[in-house]
Chain A
Amino acid sequence: MTGTVGRWVIIVDHTTVYYVILVIFVMALFTAHLIRRSRFGLALRSIGEYEEAATHIGINATVVKTIAFAISAFFMGAAGAIMATRWTYIDPRIAFDPLLSFLPVLMAIFGGTGQLYGPVFGAAIFAYLEEILTTKFPYYYMLLFGTILIVVILFLPHGLVGLVQKWRRGGWKRQNANP
């Protein structure tokens, strides 16, 4: 024992990291797809719509939510394990960094929750935007990024996917045509 909680990590080359992440990504999407179509997915959607009503039709909300949490944690953990190999040194404070924990949630909201491709779309644009802003505006990057996030969360509660759907249905004017 070294007496520390941290670990030195063996470095893995980029190609391996890429393929492992790709496999995790495909597995996550496939799992999400299966859940959406399953009775477990229907229970989750019911809880999301109205938890009290869901418990009154026999759904054990606590158990269902715990399982959903465990499934999502599995993929987070798997992604984290491979990500750690790029960092050479890691300890709990880095692993449980709040920014890293909230980032995937922000990506999902940014893209649009409730749709399978929403978070995928969100993550892609999010990551691209982050790179552009850090290189083009290294001093104002955080400020710009924060502003964009606030605007999206305030004005696009259904994310970018929601915006596209709204636009496809015939623009802003019709949004309250059938409340």
Chain B
Amino acid sequence: MRILEGEKVTKHFGGLAAVHQVDFDINQGEVVGLIGPNGAGKTTLFNLISGSLPTTVGEIRYKGKKITGLKSHQICKKGVARTFQSAKLFAGLTVLENVLAASLFGTKRTISVPDAEKEAIELLEFVELSTVGAMLAKDLPIASRKRLEVARALATKPDLLLCDEVMAGLNPADVAQAMELITKIRNKGITIFMIEHVMKAIMSVCDRIIVLHHGSKIAEGTPEEIATSRTVIEVYLGE
């Protein structure tokens, strides 16, 4: 079953086509990677899906229903969560409060504060941050910040998680841990659409990869197909 579909999704910033006529679809339970050189429009595409930016032309459907034109908080409540490339945490709030806020407001249900707190603590355990719950988010090291972003996104009980470079800036040990986390999330039954530059990670974790270049989709396929595709190699290595 298709969980997310995009049809001729386009975003223009003045004369610049940041995302141009991109068609894509993501099936339930899949892990799909989104790669491309810097400035290819990957984050812009995520911004269009999550409602950060209005789409110029085209339509995005989540579970068969149109979500283009909805506000970010409405899209979140429908079950689409995201993390940000440069961890946009609530720096002055504690680690637990960051997740608690998402548990309280991220879903359509009404939940009591103690129940939300319980869920938040469980999620901190899931991402292995339970020992630093009382710390301020700004005092966390980078790898923990990224994991907190993931925990906060998961607290909104998504069916689809958009991960924007959760592994950027991490050392190899942290990358391995992050890959493990992605697999754990997938085993929960959550569909993942991820932007990533760490090739080793994307090749081993993803079922399918979409390649963007100058805002257009230039290739799509299994990791093996992408790794051997001439167009992709040309774009990355320049001939």
- Asked whether B101 is an interface residue with its Cβ less than 8 Å from the other chain, the reply is yes
* Minimal beta-carbon separation of B44 from chain A (angstroms): 14
Tally of A interface residues using CB under 8 Å = 20
In the assembled complex, the CB of A112 is this many whole angstroms from the nearest CB of chain B, namely 14
Q: In the complex, what residues of B have CB within 8 A of residue A48's CB? A: 92
**Given known contacts A39-B104, A57-B102, A57-B152, is B76 in contact with A46 (CB within 8 Å)?**
no
The interface stretch among B105-113, B189-197, B216-224, B228-236 is B105-113
Q: Are B101 and A46 in contact, with the CB atoms below 8 A?
A: yes
20 contacts between A and B (CB under 8 A): A42-B97, A45-B90, A45-B92, A45-B97, A46-B90, A48-B92, A50-B89, A52-B72, A55-B76, A56-B72, A56-B73, A56-B81, A57-B102, A57-B152, A57-B153, A57-B155, A58-B76, A58-B106, A60-B71, A114-B92
Q: 4 closest A-B pairs (Cβ-Cβ)?
A: A49-B90, A57-B102, A55-B72, A58-B106
| CB-defined contacts of A57 to chain B, threshold 8 Å | 76, 81, 101-102, 105-106, 152-153, 155-156
A152 to chain B, nearest CB (A): 21
Query: Min CB distance, A57 to chain B, in Å?
Result: 4
Interface bin, chain B: 20 to 34
Query: For residue A55, which residues in chain B have a CB less than 8 angstroms away from its CB?
Result: 71-73, 76
Taking A42-B104, A53-B84 as contacts, is the C-beta distance between A61 and B92 under 8 angstroms? no
Which residues from 154 to 170 on chain B have a C-beta closer than 8 Å to any C-beta of chain A?
A: 155-156
CB contact list, A29-45 vs B, under 8 A: 39, 42-43, 45
Given A39-B113, A49-B92, A53-B88, verify A59-B73 contact (CB < 8 Å): yes
Which chain B residues lie closer than 8 Å to A56 at the CB level? 50, 52, 72-73, 76, 81-82, 153
Additional pairs, 19, CB under 8 Å, beyond known A59-B73, A60-B73? A39-B113, A42-B104, A43-B104, A45-B97, A46-B101, A49-B89, A49-B92, A52-B52, A52-B84, A53-B88, A54-B101, A55-B76, A56-B73, A56-B76, A57-B101, A57-B102, A58-B76, A58-B106, A59-B105
Contact B105 A45 (CB under 8 A): no
Complex interface residues of chain B between 75 and 91 (CB less than 8 A to chain A): 76-77, 81-82, 84, 88-91
